[in-house]
Amino acid sequence: MVEEKKLIKGLSSKDAEKRQKSFGLNELSEKKKISMFKIFLSQFNDFMVWVLIGATIISGIMGEKADAITILIIIIINAILGFVQEYKTEKSLDALKSLAAPTCKVYRDGNITVINAKYLTVGDIVILEAGDRIPADGEILECTSLMVDESLLTGESVGISKSLRENENSLYMGTTVLKGKGLLQITAIGMNTKMGEIANLLQDIEDEKSPLKERLDSLGKILVILCIVICALVTVVGILRGNELTEMFLLGVSLAVAAIPEGLPAIVTVALALGVSRMLKKNSLVRKLPAVETLGCISVICSDKTGTLTQNKITVKEVYMNGKVYNLDKDILPQNSLMMKSFILCNDCNYDFNERNIDKALYGDPTETALIKMYFKDINLLKAFTSNTRRVYDIPFDSNRKMMSVIVRENGKESCYVKGAPEKLLERSSYIYENGRIKPLTYQKKQQIIASVNSMSERALRCLAAAYKDESLERSEELEKNLIFIGFVGSIDPPRPEVKDAVLKCKLAGIRPIMITGDHKNTAFAIAKDLNICNTLEQVLTGEEIEVLSDKELSKMVTKIRVFARVSPNHKLRIVKAFRKNGHIVSMTGDGVNDAPAIKEADIGISMGISGTDVTKEASSMILMDDNFRTIVDAIEEGRVIYDNIRKFIRYLLSCNLGEVLTMFLASLFYLPNPLSPIQILFVNLATDGLPAIALGMDPPDSDIMRQRPREKSEGIFARGLTEKILVRGSLIGILTLISFLVGMNYGWSLETCRTLSLATLVMSQLIHVFECRSERHSIFEIKLFTNPFLVGAVAISITMLVAILYVPALSAIFHTTALNFGQWLLVLFFSGIIAIINSIYLYIKVKR
Binding part of the chain for ligand ATP, among 99-107, 304-312, 383-391, 752-760 by CB under 6 A, reads 304-312
In the set 124, 137, 149, 304, the catalytic residue is: 304
Asked if 137 contacts 167 with a C-beta cutoff of 8 angstroms, the reply is no
In whole angstroms, the minimum distance from the beta carbon of 558 to ligand ATP comes to 18
By CB under 6 A, tell whether 519 contacts ligand ATP.
yes
User: Residue 416: helix, strand or coil by DSSP?
Assistant: strand
Amino acid 637 reads E
By CB under 6 A, tell whether 19 contacts ligand ATP.
no
In whole angstroms, the minimum distance from the beta carbon of 498 to ligand ATP comes to 17
By CB under 6 A, tell whether 366 contacts ligand ATP.
no
The reply to whether 304 belongs to the active site is yes
**CA 634 to chain CA mean position, Å:** 10
Binding part of the chain for ligand ATP, among 173-181, 302-310, 326-334, 467-475 by CB under 6 A, reads 302-310
Interatomic CA distance for residues 181 and 393, integer angstroms: 11
Asked if 830 contacts 764 with a C-beta cutoff of 8 angstroms, the reply is no
Residue 568, Cβ density class (10 Å: 0-12 exposed, 13-18 middle, ≥19 buried): middle
By CB under 6 A, tell whether 403 contacts ligand ATP.
yes
Measured in degrees and rounded to the nearest 5, phi and psi for residue 313 equal -110, 95
What secondary structure letter does DSSP report for 311? -
Asked if 367 contacts 348 with a C-beta cutoff of 8 angstroms, the reply is no
By CB under 6 A, tell whether 458 contacts ligand ATP.
no
Binding part of the chain for ligand ATP, among 32-40, 396-404, 643-651, 733-741 by CB under 6 A, reads 396-404
By CB under 6 A, tell whether 521 contacts ligand ATP.
no
Identified binder of ligand ATP from the candidate list 322, 399, 539, 812, rule CB under 6 A: 399
By CB under 6 A, tell whether 416 contacts ligand ATP.
no
Amino acid 101 reads A
By CB under 6 A, tell whether 778 contacts ligand ATP.
no
By CB under 6 A, tell whether 304 contacts ligand ATP.
yes
In whole angstroms, the minimum distance from the beta carbon of 722 to ligand ATP comes to 41
Interatomic CA distance for residues 69 and 57, integer angstroms: 9
Identified binder of ligand ATP from the candidate list 518, 675, 690, 730, rule CB under 6 A: 518
Interatomic CA distance for residues 517 and 231, integer angstroms: 62
Q: Looking at beta carbons only, is 519 or 689 nearer to ligand ATP?
A: 519
Q: Looking at beta carbons only, is 231 or 314 nearer to ligand ATP?
A: 314
Binding part of the chain for ligand ATP, among 373-381, 394-402, 498-506, 779-787 by CB under 6 A, reads 394-402
By CB under 6 A, tell whether 647 contacts ligand ATP.
no
In whole angstroms, the minimum distance from the beta carbon of 455 to ligand ATP comes to 16
By CB under 6 A, tell whether 678 contacts ligand ATP.
no
Interatomic CA distance for residues 163 and 357, integer angstroms: 37
Angle at 681 between CA 678 and CA 685, to 5 degrees: 140
In whole angstroms, the minimum distance from the beta carbon of 44 to ligand ATP comes to 54
Say how many C-beta atoms besides its own lie within 10 A of residue 241's C-beta: 12
- Smallest CA-to-CA distance from 594 within 402, 404, 425 is with 402
- Smallest CA-to-CA distance from 683 within 128, 252, 231, 258 is with 258
Residues that bind ligand ATP (rule: CB under 6 A) add up to a total of 19
Element (H, E) at 491: strand 483-492
By CB under 6 A, tell whether 423 contacts ligand ATP.
no
Q: Looking at beta carbons only, is 588 or 661 nearer to ligand ATP?
A: 588
In whole angstroms, the minimum distance from the beta carbon of 832 to ligand ATP comes to 57
Identified binder of ligand ATP from the candidate list 150, 293, 368, 614, rule CB under 6 A: 368
β-strands 176-188, 137-149 pairing: antiparallel
Identified binder of ligand ATP from the candidate list 228, 370, 379, 421, rule CB under 6 A: 421
Q: Looking at beta carbons only, is 49 or 573 nearer to ligand ATP?
A: 573
3-state secondary structure string, 602-670? CCEEEEECCCCCHHHHHHCCEEECCCCHHHHHHHHHHHHHHHHHHHHHHHHHHHHHHHHHHHHHHHHHC
By CB under 6 A, tell whether 305 contacts ligand ATP.
yes
Identified binder of ligand ATP from the candidate list 180, 252, 263, 420, rule CB under 6 A: 420
Angle at 374 between CA 369 and CA 379, to 5 degrees: 70
Q: Virtual CA dihedral for 744, 746, 752, 756, nearest 10 degrees?
A: 10
In whole angstroms, the minimum distance from the beta carbon of 497 to ligand ATP comes to 18
User: Residue 302: helix, strand or coil by DSSP?
Assistant: strand
Query: Radius of gyration (Cα) for the chain, nearest Å?
Result: 34
By CB under 6 A, tell whether 350 contacts ligand ATP.
no
By CB under 6 A, tell whether 525 contacts ligand ATP.
no
By CB under 6 A, tell whether 311 contacts ligand ATP.
no
Q: Virtual CA dihedral for 380, 382, 385, 389, nearest 10 degrees?
A: -110
Binding part of the chain for ligand ATP, among 23-31, 365-373, 571-579, 637-645 by CB under 6 A, reads 365-373
Q: Looking at beta carbons only, is 162 or 402 nearer to ligand ATP?
A: 402
- List residues near ligand ATP by CB under 6 A: 304-306, 365, 367-368, 397, 399, 402-404, 419-421, 462, 464, 517-519
Catalytic positions: 304
